[in-house]
Structure 1
Amino acid sequence: MFSLTTLELARIQFGFTISFHIIFPAITVGMASYLVVLEGCWLRTQQTVYRDLYHFWSKIFAVNFGMGVVSGLVMAYQFGTNWSAFSLFAGGVTGPLLTYEVLTAFFLEAGFLGVMLFGWNRVGPGLHFLATAMVAIGTLISTTWILASNSWMQTPQGYEILNGRVVPVDWLQVIFNPSFPYRLVHMSVAAFLATALFVGASAAWHLLRGRDNPAIRKMLSMAMWLLLVVAPIQAVIGDMHGLNTLKHQPAKIAALEGHWENRGNEALPLILFGWPDMAREETRFSLEIPRLGSLILTHTWDGQIKGLKEFAPEDRPNSTIIFWSFRIMVGLGMLMILLGVWSLLLRRGEKLHRGRLFLHAVLWMGPAGLVALLAGWYTTEIGRQPWIVYGVMRTADAVSPHGAPELALSLALFVVSYFFVFGIGIAYIFRLVRKGPVMHEGEPQAVGGPGHDRTPARPMSAVEDDAAALADTRS
């Protein structure tokens, strides 16, 4: 580790911490909207299955929300500790945007979260639904500000450089930069897909173990409906995002396609698989489909794009990495579409909850949404290199003047502490999932105590109460 440079260690540390962090906000965004739907269905139909699912998933949401907040604090501090030159240069833009996220989204979420988690039998149904909706809206507002900041780093506009620092001159241009709308929608939909697959996998796990009840069935059905509708929409959004990236970051598109040079006026093939070799400036062992590259990238039969050789070597992203991260994202997206179609076919014969092969597929696809999200994030961020602000500031100029040993030590501490702390949190979430929804949970009780009327139901008490009941039974 000590043979790596300060820049490499700082990038690895940021990549490691953000890989942990991005998982929790993604599930938080999707889960909050899912809870709004569940409570809305409960208020409209009074079917207890929706109420039971709300109480079950609200516990998991609470734990996930807490881990997202903790992991997010580390990200903010790294801008000052590891990327101080970037903060000094671009803080006039990124600082206010992140501040707006705290002042609007985080305060909104924190203000209504207590009512949402502990107010089921203490406030009216309308007010409680409002609290749930406000938390969900807060997560989407948070996503908006974060993506506005990151998108500006991808496609900067609305600024001037005065005395070596970025000064915003038009905040509307800063926020609504060219890539912002596509990246915001793409990321939000990815969060919904990741949540749908997580919920669906949880239901499949219970069904495969013989636990079949209305709540479990409803979980699976709702997850598969969302997957069926949203996964194809995500493919369309991804195509639009790709066209936008081709316009503003052509080197990234060339790198993720493994495209090095044009062959005269010949149409571009689509390279399905291969190994982009940065040293040899070619994609080795490539498997190609003629003309399909032109059709996908330019929406014409014989269109062409710039090859990587048309960019200076120091301005090229690492094609070897993003070529494969992009294909992982796209491949998993195609599997999501197929899984949604498969679920639709099984509904005709009422076999959605009984097809064991299908349930195994849903279970194994559970992590696919998060893996695809991470792969897409790597494609976006590594594809921006060697720029931290595209075309304006290089990543090598943004790093703090630390020594490599100090960064290596802090990275090692992060790895150990993250796997310990968040490993425990993730294990607890899976423990809640294994417990499953409790039928008729949330009904007013005449007796006090944890989870009953007059005493707030603690999210962390869900498994403890179950263990206590089991101990009482044995005694």
Structure 2
Amino acid sequence: MNAVDSALAAARAQFAIAISFHIVLAAFTIGLANFLMVLEALWLWRGQRIYLDVYLYWLKVFALNVAVGTASGLILEYQFGLNWSRLSTQAGDILGPLMFYEVQAAFFLEAGFLGIMLFGMKKVGPRLHLFATCAVALGSLISAFWILSANSWMQTPAGYSLGANGRFIAESWWAIIFNPSFPYRLTHMTLAAFIGTATLVAGISAWQLLGERQNPRARLAYSMALWLIVVLTPVQILVGDLHGEHSLKVQPQKVAAIEGSWTRPADGEGEPLRLFALPDMAERRNHWEVAIPRVASLYLRHDLSGTIAALDEFPPEDIPPVPAVFFAFRVMVGLGLLMMGQGLVSVVLRWRHRLYAARWMLRGCVLMAPAGFLAMLSGWVVTEVGRQPFTVYGLMRTADSLSSVSRQQVIGATWTILAFYLVIFGVGLWVLLRLLREPPHEDEPGPQPTLADETGKS
């Protein structure tokens, strides 16, 4: 490995570390902000104190998550200038405004109302406070909109022209923002944020119910989270299928890597579903392959004899790292199926009036607590590693996006970032565990409304 390749690998590893920390916190912010919005709306609508208690309890978790997430996001932003300055130079006319819109429209919206949401209930009253909560929830979704628009443009570039020295120049902002893969990625990621939050809330509430089974507030959070899993996991699977069909059209190498398909099957044989294999990049084949004939043709082509472009049909230098994409996809799908099973089991237990009594289900939900975010991270690996060796797909290679930095410089910065993250996340995790040690109780401490007659008591 030469010096350039070594520096590139180090820079990619650094970015992967930074984004892996930040994306979980950002997704939890999106999911938890909308969960709080629903809780406060139910409190005002039904006039039952139990919703306010659960709201105040999870509001403390939300505040902690925002604080830690903001710290992790700052480091991520700096990497574009430090490690990926050539990408910033070549594609800055497009990516720069999209990132600015995210800050201008979303960050200020969230930050402007966050103070009211956290501390203003005594000052502004319940209805205006609900408006602030809705603004923060909306701001989190707008932030996701712009970030995913920028990322999707790098996956499926549109609305541009190439100027001097290969710089990307914006020609149609409508085509840039609503590029071909954007609707699929926005929907898929938003659902992932909601489902990840639901599995985490369900797991934490189940853990609390194992120690205090009759706690009605822990039961409420547990029940709401499981209902969300029941409703959204089938929708996510459908969206994922549509996203995969679109990726087959615009990024066939990625889909071939997902399937571990090195050679196209003979006519009429169809594409097998490879449950397990060890892809070998050097020999361009799979070892220890376990496959079910024709099944992949059914979900890829909706035809038992259909095939896809295989990896040997593309230049070797344009093929992504197959093992990472292959295994990450199977982790994502496996966890998704487990979460759908979790939701179906909860429906059966509700019908049998054993949802809160089944301790094996409570323990299972505790184990499944990180499943949604682990599936999301696996999906992110599929998306980003599957795009390689390009940053702007088909137009700009990752190696051409790197700054003039040495491997030693990148590794030194990486250790500094890791140390910072360990401190920030270590303190954040310690505070979080202290917050979650006790389940929510009646008259949960926190900012109280000034107009109690508007809401009533349960």
TM-score by length of 2: 0.95
One-letter amino acid of the counterpart of residue 425, structure 2:
F
CA deviation after TM superposition for structure 1 residue 131, in Å: 0.4
Taking the aligned partners of 1:427 and 1:246, their CA distance within structure 2 comes to: 44
Alignment pair present for 1:178 and 2:180: yes
Whether the 8 Å CA contact 1:2–1:404 is kept in 2: the answer is no
Instruction: Return the alpha-carbon distance in structure 1 between the equivalents of residues 282 and 172 of structure 2.
Output: 42
Taking the aligned partners of 1:222 and 1:247, their CA distance within structure 2 comes to: 38
Alignment partner, residue 248 of structure 1? 250
- Describe how 1:375-414 pairs up with structure 2 within 5 A: 375-414=378-417
Which structure 2 residues correspond to residues 334-345 of structure 1 after superposition, within 5 A? 334-345=337-348
CA distance in 1, matches of 2:327, 2:288: 14
SS of the aligned residue for 2:290 comes to strand
3-state SS in 2 of match to 1:122: helix
Q: Is the 8 A contact 2:95 2:150 kept in 1?
A: yes
* 1:298 shift after superposition: 1.2
1:331 counterpart (326, 329, 334): 334
- Aligned to 2:188, the other structure's residue is in SS state helix
Write the distance in 2 (CA, Å) between the matches of 1:290 and 1:273.
13
Paired position in structure 1 for 2:133? 132
Q: Name the counterpart of 2:453.
A: none
Aligned 8 A contact 1:206 1:212 in 2: no
Q: Is 1:85 the equivalent of 2:86?
A: yes
Letter in 2 for 1:241: H
- Deviation string for 1:364-410 (max 9, x for gaps)? 00000111010000110000000000001000000001111111111
- Counterpart position of 1:312: 315
Secondary structure of the structure 2 residue equivalent to 1:160:
strand
Write the distance in 1 (CA, Å) between the matches of 2:2 and 2:204.
Answer: 42
What's the counterpart of residue 463 of structure 1? none
Which residue of the partner structure matches residue 69 of structure 1?
A: 70
Task: Note if 1:439 corresponds to 2:442.
Answer: yes
Amino acid at match of 2:209: L
Partner of 2:455: none
Among 253, 271, 274, the alignment partner of 2:274 is 271
Q: 2:204 aligns with which of 202, 207, 210?
A: 202
Q: TM-score, normalised by structure 1?
A: 0.92
Displacement of 1:211 after TM fit?
A: 4.7
Shift in Å, 1:2: 11
Per the TM alignment, residue 436 of structure 1 is displaced from its structure 2 partner at its CA by 2.2
CA–CA separation in structure 2 for the residues paired with 1:437 and 1:143: 30
Amino acid of the structure 2 residue aligned with 1:207: L
In the alignment, the residues of structure 2 paired with residue 109 and residue 159 of structure 1 have an alpha-carbon distance, to the nearest angstrom, of 31
Paired position in structure 2 for 1:470? none
Q: Which secondary structure state, in structure 2, belongs to the residue aligned with residue 317 of structure 1?
A: coil
Partner secondary structure for residue 5 of structure 1 = helix
Bigger Cα displacement from structure 2, 424-433 vs 397-406: 424-433
Runs of 4+ in 1 over 6 A off after TM superposition: 1-4
Q: Is the Cα–Cα contact under 8 Å of residues 120 and 442 in structure 1 kept in the other structure?
A: no
3-state SS of paired residue (1:384): coil
Amino acid at match of 1:391: G
User: Which residue of structure 1 lines up, in the alignment, with residue 18 of structure 2?
Assistant: 17
Give the Cα separation in 2 of the matches to 1:31 and 1:178.
29
CA positional deviation for 1:210: 3.0
> 1:344 and 1:435 mapped to 2: Cα distance?
27
On the 8 A contact 1:2/1:408 being kept in 2, the answer is: no
CA displacement, residues 12-55 of structure 1 (integer Å, 9 cap, x when unaligned): 00000110000111000000000010001100111111000000
- Match of 2:54, as an amino acid? L
Find the counterpart in structure 1 of residue 45 from structure 2.
Answer: 44
Question: Displacement of 1:414 after TM fit?
Answer: 1.2
- Residues 51, 442 of structure 1: 8 Å contact kept: no
Task: Say which of 423, 427, 438 aligns to 1:424.
Answer: 427
Partners of 1:408 and 1:271 in 2: CA distance: 37
Moved more, 209-218 or 287-296: 209-218
CA–CA distance in 1 between the matches of 2:289 and 2:199? 32
- What is the alpha-carbon distance in structure 2 between the residues aligned to residue 312 and residue 9 of structure 1? 25
Q: Which has the higher contact order (CA 8 A, sep 6+)?
A: 2
- Relative to 1, partners in 2 of residues 1:2 and 1:52: Cα closer, same or farther, differing over 3 Å? farther
Residue type at the aligned position of 1:260: W
Aligned-pair distance for 1:438? 3.0
Match of 1:281?
A: 284
Find the residue that maps to 2:121 and give its secondary structure.
coil
Q: How many residues get paired? A: 447
Farther-moved stretch of structure 1 (32-41 vs 281-290): 281-290
Work out whether 1:322 is the aligned partner of 2:297: no
**Is residue 125–residue 449 contact of structure 2 (8 Å, CA) maintained in 1?**
no
Is 1:361 matched with 2:378? Answer: no
Q: Deviations over 1:287-343 (max 9, x none)?
A: 111111111111122111100000111000011111000000000000000000000
* 1:233 counterpart residue number: 235
8 Å contact kept, 2:213–2:356: no
Quote how far apart the aligned CAs of 1:68 are: 1.4
Q: Bigger shift: 201-210 or 250-259?
A: 201-210
Aligned to 2:456: none
Deviation at 1:355, TM superposition (A): 0.4
In structure 2, the gaps of 5 or more residues are: 451-458
Counterpart-to-counterpart distance in 1, 2:44 and 2:376: 33
Match of 2:158 in 1: 157
Quick check: 1:257–1:323 contact (8 Å CA) kept in 2? yes
Q: Deviations over 1:431-456 (max 9, x none)?
A: 2111221312368xxxxxxx6799xx
SS at 2:291 equivalent: strand
The answer to whether the 8 Å contact 2:84/2:401 transfers is yes
Partner of 1:193: 195
- State the partner residue of 1:447: none
How far does the alpha carbon of each residue in 1:66-98 deviate from its partner, in whole angstroms, 9 at most, with x for none? 111111111111000000010000001100000
Confirm whether residue 59 of structure 1 aligns to residue 60 of structure 2.
Answer: yes
Tell me the secondary structure at the aligned position of residue 435 of structure 1.
Answer: coil
CA positional deviation for 1:427: 2.2
The one-letter amino acid paired with 2:421 is Y
Distance in 2 separating the partners of 1:293 and 1:372: 21
One-letter code of the match for 1:242? Answer: G
**RMSD of equivalent CA atoms:** 1.5
Rounded to whole Å, the distance in 1 between the matches of 2:281 and 2:85 is 30
Q: Distance in 2 between matches of 1:312 and 1:178?
A: 24
- Checking the alignment, whether the CA contact within 8 Å between 1:101 and 1:146 is kept in structure 2 is yes
Q: 1-side partners of 2:345 and 2:435: how far apart?
A: 28
5+ unaligned residues in a row in structure 1: which ranges? 444-450, 455-475
In 1: Cα distance, 2:201 partner to 2:189 partner? 18
